[in-house]
A and B are shown apart, each in its own frame.
Chain A
Amino acid sequence: MDAILETLGLAQSAELLAFSPPGWGGNLLRGLANSMKIASGAFGMGLLIGLFGAYGKLYGGVVVRDLLAIYTTVIRAVPELVLILILYYVGTDLLNKASLAMGYGRVEISGVVAGIWVLGIVQGAYATEVLRGAIQAVPAGQIEAARAFGMPPLTLMRRVTIPAMMSFAVPGLANLWLIATKDTALLAIVGFSELTLETRQAASSTRAYFTFFLAAGALYLIVTLLSGVVFGRVEKWARRGQPSLREGGR
């Protein structure tokens, strides 16, 4: 093993990427773990916001619909980096003001939690649109049948609308998840120790920019490939009951 690395001239890189100090591999993996925590938290929060947002946009009153229109338009219009700066600084500032006003001291906000909030709000805007489209794509007759059999609205949402819209929503949601994993890198700007920041620190302390950024790139790629496999399975499950197009319908 050592010999192979030696001949390939990668011995030094392997040393730098070792999991225990002085190698930086452990830091990178910790960064990756943080990135994934933030991405999944934000994705989950986005789904929740998206579900309420989609229902609000479709069935809400005028005020709800207008507010949601402002939310999705603004979030999707402003560059994510700017949004992150705004949401992070405004968010922490407001939280601190509130905390001081209630007589507590300054609050220490965990990086992961703040990251989830900031990205979750961004994800929510996109998820609202994805889910709204998916809900509208559910054949009206299926919802009507459920109503005709006396299904209460919440049961109907849980048992009919959501499962029936999944096949339409999954491709869009898969995209959102990938965006979430990559957007975590933007959080480096506000000092979260996610993968990109850890990589930069490792690179600048060792001057081995190439090695570390290549390693980080590989990690992001692995995440994407694994996600592809997982979402492929989910989509297949969501499309159960629909004849595959490739086999030519019925």
Chain B
Amino acid sequence: MATLHPAASEVDSRQPQDAAIQVRDLHKSFGHLEVLKGVSLTAQKGDVVAIIGGSGSGKSTFLRCINFLETPSSGQIIVGGEQIEMRPDGTPRNRRQIERIRTRLGMVFQAFNLWTHRTLLENVIEVPVHVLKIPRADAIARAMTLLERVGLADKADTFPSFLSGGQQQRAAIARALAVDPSVMLFDEPTSALDPELVGEVLTVIRTLAAEGRTMLLVTHEMKFAKEVATHVIYLFEGRIEEQGPPDTLFGNPQSARLKQFLQTVG
């Protein structure tokens, strides 16, 4: 990768071009409704950024703008030093570039969104084989390792709808890991789960954090955010109201809104 100032990056390893992901002044409107009003974020390799905030504060929209599931209205998105080329109206200039960058962003959805007509193994190898063109045998070997890792090796040939929500979400995490993403995007991965199934999914995410995966994690699980996050962002009505390391943000919140929010979510 071409770095403009190689010397500078030696001095400060937290140069922007080293960031795993960088978002600058992101705006997004749905019609007249401005949902994101200039959100910026930088995540270095290995960072776990938790994004918290009330319902409708724009958390999902922010995450979905990063991989262009929603088209941002304006702003800049830079993934692994590569800036996504946008037209003035925010639409991507180059579909191929978006597709290429998307393969480096493993997304995990609230509703799992596994492909129901494919077994777990088929779900996990789908993108490696049919998008990344990895030889099928290699993809299967890797997929089995991943399913093993999320505790689903014995369910490889089962279809998703025959499994519990927790199992489906763990499979969805394996599917996201299969592309060996440089950043993982989680949108409330446990919100659709029965309380007794939340733990098994959080356990998997915890191991990912421990091994240094870069993650953006939208969550309502404050305790979990406090535990795994390296950085927490509190969104309020489309703006970053407060951000900082978890200890400070949860232990000593500054803004009245965050204080109130933390009280209501407990």
Contact = CB atoms under 8 A, between A and B. Distances in A.
Contact of B113 (A144, A166, A167, A238): A144
A226 B159 CA distance: 29
Contacts of A147: 69, 102
Interface stretch (B83-91, B125-133, B146-154, B211-219): B125-133
A155 interface: yes
Interface stretch (B39-47, B114-122, B225-233): B114-122
Interface in B62-107: 67, 69, 95, 98-103, 105-107
B193 interface: no
Interface string A194-212: 0000000000000000000
A153 B162 CA distance: 29
Interface string B161-187: 110000000000001000100000000
Given A149-B127, A150-B103, A241 B69 contact: no
Classify the secondary structure of A's interface with B: helix
Interface centre among B69, B114, B127 (most CB of A within 10 A): B127
A164 B131 contact: no
B167 to A, nearest CB: 11
A151 B161 contact: no
Interface residues of B, number: 32
**Size bin of chain A's contact surface:** 20 to 34
A155 B111 contact: no
A193 B117 CA distance: 42
Contacts of B179: 149
Given A150-B102, A155-B130, A241-B118, A250 B111 contact: no
B58 interface: no
Nearest to A239: B117
A164 B161 contact: no
A156 to B, nearest CB: 10
Interface string B14-52: 000000000000000000000000000000000000000
A99 interface: no
B82 to A, nearest CB: 14
A145 B130 contact: no
Contacts, number: 80
Interface centre among B105, B118, B119 (most CB of A within 10 A): B118
B69 A242 contact: no
Contact of A150 (B114, B131, B175): B131
A238 B117 CA distance: 8
Contacts of B102: 147-150
B160 interface: yes
A163 interface: yes
A147 to B, nearest CB: 6
12 contacts: A141-B113, A144-B109, A145-B114, A147-B102, A148-B107, A149-B103, A149-B131, A150-B100, A155-B130, A160-B115, A163-B117, A241-B159
The 7 closest A-B pairs by CB, nearest first: A150-B102, A241-B159, A141-B113, A150-B103, A145-B113, A150-B99, A148-B107
Given A149-B127, A152-B95, A152-B131, 9 more contacts: A139-B116, A149-B175, A159-B126, A164-B117, A167-B117, A241-B116, A241-B159, A243-B161, A243-B162
